[in-house]
Amino acid sequence: MCAATGAERAAPDSLLGRLRALPADRRITAQRSAGRLVADVEALARELDVVPGEPIAFRAPNGEPWIVGLLALLAAGASPLLVSPDAPRRERDRLLAAAGGGRELVADDGFRLDGAAGRGGEPAVLLTTSGSTGEPKLLARTEESLVAEGLRFESAVGLHGLDRLVLPLPLSHAYALGWLAAALVTGTEVRAHPPSSLAAVERELADGATIIALVPTLARLLALRRRRRGGRPSPAPGLRLAMVGAGPVDERLDEEFRAAYGLSTGRNYGSTETGALFAGLGDLPPLCVGAPMPGVRFRVLDDGAPCPPGREGRLEVRVDDTRPWHDTGDLAVADELGRVRILGRTHGAVRKGGRWISPLEVEAVLREAPGVSDAHVRSRTGRYADEELLIADVAAGPEVDEADVLAHARTHLSGYKVPDRVHLHRALARDRAGKRSYRQPRYRLAGAAALEAMRSYRRSELLFALDDLDLLEPLRCGADLDELSGDRGLPAEQVAWLLDIAAALGLVTTGDARPAPGLPELLRLERELSRTWLTRESIAEAVRAGRRPRPFDVAGPGGELLDAYPAAMHGAHVAGRTRLGVRLLGEHARGRVLEVSAGPGRYLSAVLTAHPRARGHLLPLGPLAGPTESCVEGAIRCGAVESGGHPPPGEFDAVVVANGIHGPAPGADVDWLLSRLVPGGVLLVDDVFLPEDGGIGAELGLDWLTHGGTAWPRAAQLHAAITDAGGSVVREVRTPPPDCRLILVEREGTR
């Protein structure tokens, strides 16, 4: 099949054919009418020289180019392999190899095919499953099935050319793709935005959007942002439907969204294999996904027998009578009206004493517990093969402990539904579509790395010994054996032996080397930690303590650590990074600046030096902050800077968190930090993060476990927390040491 032939398929069979049947002037996207979109797609399809059915990877941000690229690949006869835009290259290569392809359609200032052509086959859209039923896998959806799904939406939702649909979901995900197909089939105007662009979504709603497709996470975030602003309902005057899919909607979420936007959530349910299956337009019971969409049949089975209304069983569906029943893998119950409640994955549901336990029901109850923001309930085999345990992973604030969660569960659930174990977390992992990650990694000791770790202490002890022998300073400048031994009265043979071992380990070199900034201060700190708060005993005790006060919180730092810590973390060697941070603050540094820091106030010192008329507030964090810098002390005495106490909300042009974003409170509370800003103010985070893929720098996590704070260990987690709190990262700069970052944040909607 050549590209031109693919572009001329009959209207009922293709998305492009459906577009051709619409009035040419029908608005489909913000910039394109139906006629313009068809023309752009056909022009690109003619340029694409593809093998019929060839898998072509396609990963691009949400937007109009994504829509053009997908339709052009289909029109050219290819099989688009939809990959998330933030997927790393290795993931793309792995999926492409599994599909039998070798090329990617790249969308950057135009379109181009990159790579070597793969094998052909039957044209289809290739999607990856979420992995909620096992390892992610590739699934093929025909274009005809997408058209049929779009028609199901048309009938169930009443889509028409007067609607404007907002899609803040990854278009590579099956749920969003179904909605896009519905818009193209019905001539509904569609506005696709990245999931993180919540401010843009709010502007679309305020500007008259009539429908929005959401996942539970985004629905909760939009409601939360609205509540924080204290607004009354109706911030979306044209909104008639907020459809939530790809996850459960409990009573709390529905109430929060209704309070924020004045209407109940609609519900949608489907699978990657089949597309959308059930829909409800609002005012539904908790966990209910509505009734089957037109053309969809379903049945609920228990041990192969149909279940009467009200009885739980496995959900099977059929969208085509020529195909067999499809087992969704979900536990469900139908009511007398034919509406279905999804109770969770059958492999995750728990059956005790012949009774099913719905993980989603338990999760909904746990989310109502004070201080709990999210929950995920799963099962695992207990000590005996026939024993199933209910495990709850709960995201909760630091003031919550396991006993609080269990007490709440016992008050609101039957005894057999109360979790056997509760694991507390600051946040729960989610995939790119906003669904909670269900897979639990299995950890195994890495033999070679473990052997290396057993002896790695010798490297640090050798470095400390060189310092004890007064050899480090001359080694920093470069010295020969005579200088190192004779000048210090040390035996040359023993010094040479020590240095040869140090050279073999890479600690010293006979070539050129750049001195590490702040090495003496950092070395002093590490020496102290190696014999106090980073011993094997201290690490084990911190783990045993859990959320109870750690040994460090009870005993506090010793005198040597109180001196070594500020010098290492805030000494002269970080002055360059501080100056860069002040430059990032720009004009905001001339106003009122709040520094929240486990340090001496180095940012306020730099701000006052650069802008003598600036005013500020220093909030020291924890016992390791150390003495305040003299410049700041002077400003405190003359009233230009306040210290301690409770900095008021909404009064600062800039908030700086220096060595404090991981904790203790309130340094780790992103919502609290952003709330201190005036409209248009900025937040600057200056801290070290764990590397995303392990390696050098990951050992810092032990410091946070034993004597620091464990919030947002990786930058990606902080980014998600910033988005949740209504902020937006506008600049990020990396500086030494490994993964030290300056992150500049604006609070959305304050300009």
Closest CA to 747 of 685, 679, 694, 690: 679
Q: Is the peptide bond before 285 cis (omega within 30 degrees of 0)?
A: no
* 564-747: CATH superfamily: Vaccinia Virus protein VP39 (3.40.50.150)
User: What is the per-residue pLDDT for 136?
Assistant: 56
Q: Provide the residue type at 170 as one letter.
A: P
Structure tokens given for 674: 């952003």
User: d(Cα 721, Cα 474) in Å, to the nearest integer?
Assistant: 46
Cβ atoms of 614 and 592 within 8 Å: the answer is yes
How does DSSP assign 28-73, residue by residue? -SSS-BHHHHHHHHHHHHHH----TT-EEEE---SSHHHHHHHHHH
User: d(Cα 144, Cα 138) in Å, to the nearest integer?
Assistant: 18
User: What is the per-residue pLDDT for 11?
Assistant: 42
User: What is the per-residue pLDDT for 504?
Assistant: 92
Give the chain's count of helices (H) and strands (E): 26, 30
Phi first, then psi: give them for residue 395, nearest 5 degrees: -90, 120
Q: Which residue intervals of the chain bear CATH 3.40.50.150?
A: 564-747
Beta strands 164-167; 189-192: pairing state: parallel
Q: Which residue intervals of the chain bear CATH 3.40.50.980?
A: 18-141
Q: Provide the residue type at 86 as one letter.
A: D
Q: Provide the residue type at 317 as one letter.
A: V
Q: Which fold has domain 350-425?
A: GMP Synthetase; Chain A, domain 3 (3.30.300)
User: d(Cα 131, Cα 432) in Å, to the nearest integer?
Assistant: 12
Q: At what angle do helices 630-638 and 602-610 cross, to 10 degrees?
A: 70
Instruction: Give buried/exposed letters for 212-235 (b at 16+ CB in 10 A, else e).
Output: bbbbbbbbbbbbbbbeeeeeeeeb
Q: How far is CA 480 from the centre of its chain?
A: 52
State which residues of the chain have pLDDT below 70.
Answer: 1-12, 130-136, 230-234, 346-356, 381-387, 430-440, 738, 748-751
Structure tokens given for 427: 């946040």
Cβ atoms of 681 and 747 within 8 Å: the answer is yes
Torsion of CA 19, 22, 25, 26, to 10 degrees: -80
Helix (H, G, I), strand (E, B) or coil at 444: coil
CATH class of 166-345: alpha beta
Residue 630 makes CB contacts below 8 A (sequence gap 6+) with none
**3-state secondary structure string across 88-125:** CHHHHHHHHHHHCCCEEEEECCCEEEEECCCCCCCCCE
Question: Dmax of the chain from CA atoms?
Answer: 95
Q: How far is CA 621 from the centre of its chain?
A: 27
Closest CA to 658 of 572, 599, 717: 599
Structure tokens given for 631: 């410049």
Residue 153 makes CB contacts below 8 A (sequence gap 6+) with 159, 178, 179, 181, 182, 185, 186, 276, 279, 293
User: Residues, the chain, total?
Assistant: 751
User: What is the per-residue pLDDT for 525?
Assistant: 92
Query: Token match 């109009």: residue?
Result: 64
User: What is the per-residue pLDDT for 167?
Assistant: 94
HSE-up of 446 (CA within 13 Å, CB side)? 4
CATH 3.40.50.980 at 18-141, yes or no? yes
Identify any residues that bridge with 238 across adjacent strands, giving them in sequence order: none
Closest CA to 669 of 728, 725, 601, 593: 725
| Beta strand segments in 168-288, E | 189-192, 211-214, 241-244, 266-271, 275-280
Q: Which helix (H) or strand (E) holds 373?
A: strand 372-381
User: d(Cα 605, Cα 636) in Å, to the nearest integer?
Assistant: 11
User: What is the per-residue pLDDT for 443?
Assistant: 76
Helix (H, G, I), strand (E, B) or coil at 292: strand
Closest CA to 82 of 146, 35, 134, 150: 146
Q: How far is CA 575 from the centre of its chain?
A: 32
Residue 232 makes CB contacts below 8 A (sequence gap 6+) with none
Q: Which helix (H) or strand (E) holds 342?
A: strand 340-345
Cβ atoms of 349 and 379 within 8 Å: the answer is yes
Tally of CB atoms within 10 A around 478: 12
Cβ atoms of 264 and 236 within 8 Å: the answer is no
Structure tokens given for 54: 């060839």
Closest CA to 49 of 11, 93, 105: 105
User: What is the per-residue pLDDT for 440?
Assistant: 66
Residue 586 per-residue DSSP state: G
Identify any residues that bridge with 378 across adjacent strands, giving them in sequence order: 391
